[in-house]
Amino acid sequence: MTPNESSRLGSVCVYCGSSNDADPSYLTDAFKIGESFATAGLKLIYGGGGVGLMGATARGAHSAGGAVQGIIPTFLRGREQPFDDVETVIVDNMHERKMMMYERSDAFVVLPGGIGTLEEIIELLSWRRLDLHQKPIVFHNPGGFWDPLFALIEHTIEARLTPPTLAKAWRSVERAEDVTPALLAWDEEIFQSGAPATLRQLT
């Protein structure tokens, strides 16, 4: 494998909601985003459920011929109903699920979600704050869904409790069709900057 190939994105992890009660437009966008991953040749790594935005993203990727891998803890199999048409890894607990999702992904996309999604993205940003990784993070932010989170982080920066550099740790796009192009463009910038591949991995 050449240096160029070793730095290219191969997989993307999606954090998102698992509720079927979500705004239908969020579900439609999730399906489109999943399709766009497949079209770009990106393997989808996700939480393994077949419901909500989670299931919509997986179905979008799978229907477009993309590789999909779900990772779900045993106790959530009944609640989140694994999507049986794709490869699904069963783990013992949430910690194992999150670490496996992280380790198997080259980049992250955050769709609208609830408290579980917030937990995942705050942990990911915390690791970024500690310089433990340099993986691209893109938020799908329809109608400003994530603006309150961005404002809270900015508030902690203004209070001098978070370094200003953290505000550059992610990119945000409003339209579903812009998510994958934003991800690929950021990866290209990382590659062109000559950042070592080790910065992609949690140490």
DSSP-assigned letters across all residues of 12-47:
EEEE----TTS-HHHHHHHHHHHHHHHHTTPEEEE-
Residue 182 lies in a domain: yes
Residue 84 lies in a domain: yes
Residue 88 lies in a domain: yes
* 86-113 residue pLDDT tens: 999 999 999 999 999 999 999 999 999 9
Confidence of residue 197 (pLDDT cuts 50, 70, 90): very low
Residue pair 52/27 in contact (Cβ under 8 Å)? The answer is yes
Q: Quick one: which H or E segment has residue 136?
A: none
Assign residue 68 the CATH number of its domain.
Answer: 3.40.50.450
Q: What is the pLDDT of residue 51?
A: 92
Residue 155 lies in a domain: no
* Mean model confidence pLDDT for the chain: 90
Residue 92 dihedral angles phi and psi, to the nearest 5°? -85, -30
Number of H helices, E strands in the chain: 8, 7
Residue 111 lies in a domain: yes
Q: What is the pLDDT of residue 193?
A: 73
Domain count, the chain: 1
Answer yes or no: is pLDDT of 19 > 60. Answer: yes
Residue 122 lies in a domain: yes
Q: What is the pLDDT of residue 195?
A: 63
Residue 163 lies in a domain: no
CA distance 92 to 75: 8
* 30-61 residue pLDDT tens: 999 999 999 999 999 999 988 999 999 999 99
The 3-state DSSP class for residue 139 equals: strand
CA distance 133 to 162: 17
Average pLDDT over residues 112-137: 94
Nearest Cα to Cα of residue 94 among 114, 73, 117, 69: 73
Residue 1 lies in a domain: no
Q: What is the pLDDT of residue 196?
A: 54
CA atoms within 13 A on the CB side of 157: 14
Q: What is the pLDDT of residue 13?
A: 97
Range of the structural domain that residue 17 is part of: 8-142+170-192
Q: 201 to each of 11, 131, 133, how far by Cα in Å?
A: 13, 10, 5
* 138-150 residue pLDDT tens: 999 999 999 999 9
